[in-house]
Amino acid sequence: MLNAAIVGMGRWGQVLVNSVQGQQGAPIRFVAGTTRSPDKARAWAGEQKLRLLPDFAAVLADPEVKAVVLATPHAQHAEQVIAAARAGKHVFCEKPFTLDRASAAAAVAACEKAGVVMALGHNRRFLPSVALMKFMLAEGKLGTLLHVEGQFSGPGARAYQPGMWRADRAESPLGGMGGMGIHMIDMIIHLAGRFRQVSVISKAQVSKTIDDTTAMLAELESGATLNFATLALTPSFWRVALFGTEGILQLQGHESLSFTPREGEPWVKNFPKTDIEAAELAAFATAVAGGPAYPLPVAEAIHGVAVFEAMIGAAASGSSYAVVA
């Protein structure tokens, strides 16, 4: 059993803890935590039997804590990952990993030097529907991949008020990218490979805080093209589609996968819902215990940040940006 501390007890930090705490067979449990608003989290921490520590330094000094789970503002991640690695703690970090490639690479290097596991919370990698998509693509069922479409949107910015960290453009460049769109970037890397270059339009059409509309046209290293959007003021929506010479795969939501072959009958497969937060934390704990490596290679974690950084530059300049290798 891996003893962990949660760092950041806002809504998402609580979701992560609730997914595994007290669950039979879970290989991880939370024993402590810290947050910048302890009074708001005190009752919940008591219910989850978490020792509430005064700050991150206290978490790293706690001998019972063997791993930290970071559900903190984006700009803090690199420094916190490096500090945790130096303290000998394994690290699970929520996305986006960092906001620039250099800090992501430094964080990974610190974990490698310390010999600790570093895992990134791209939970959609744990969907059975995605596993089938990756298998079919690898097996050649789509032929040559020509084009990818990605869309991850939702209403989150409706709740953002000035003063909230997610409403800070420094923490949320390109609007919905930090909270939503970065998941789709990782999904595209996972399924279709690395990015070569990006062009981006990002703007606030309605929002008074962050951009509510972010759209990208890109090219992958394979030569396939890509269009992507993340919108921060719409109903929730997730879609990823792969267009190949022999077939088209489309995942609408997390559970409904359709396939249209060039010849033969199309089909739709519906999957049961999966607790992807519990799955990612279990995979992290298993990797710490010496089992299979966490199924998001650190090189892909760094590349996802490189894509994000290139998107920010492309949007600001109004030109295409190459993605740094």
The model's pLDDT over 157-191, given as tens digits with 9 standing for 90+, comes to 998 988 888 888 888 899 999 999 999 999 999 99
Question: CA-based Rg of the chain, rounded to a whole angstrom?
Answer: 20
pTM above 0.85, yes or no: yes
Domain 126-322 fold is: Dihydrodipicolinate Reductase; domain 2 (3.30.360)
Alpha carbon of 182 to those of 81, 175, 187, 228: distances in Å? Answer: 19, 11, 9, 11
Helix H or strand E segment including 105: helix 101-114
Residues in the chain: 325
pLDDT at 204: 95
pLDDT at 268: 98
Ranges of residues in the chain whose predicted pLDDT is under 50: none
The span from the CA of 278 to the CA of 286, in Å, is 12
Q: Identify the CA nearest to 196 among candidates 306, 317, 122, 319.
A: 306
Task: Indicate the DSSP class of residue 180.
Answer: T
Question: For the chain, what are the domain ranges?
Answer: 2-123, 126-322
Domain 2-123 fold is: Rossmann fold (3.40.50)
pLDDT at 16: 98
Residue that is written with structure tokens 């974990």 in the block: 111
The set of residues, in sequence order, having a beta carbon less than 8 Å from that of 91 and lying 6+ positions away, is 67, 68, 70, 81, 84, 85, 111, 116, 117, 118, 119
Contacts within 8 Å (CB) and 24+ apart, 76-81: 77/107, 78/103, 78/104, 78/106, 78/107, 80/7, 80/56, 81/107, 81/110, 81/111, 81/118
pLDDT at 162: 87
pLDDT at 76: 96
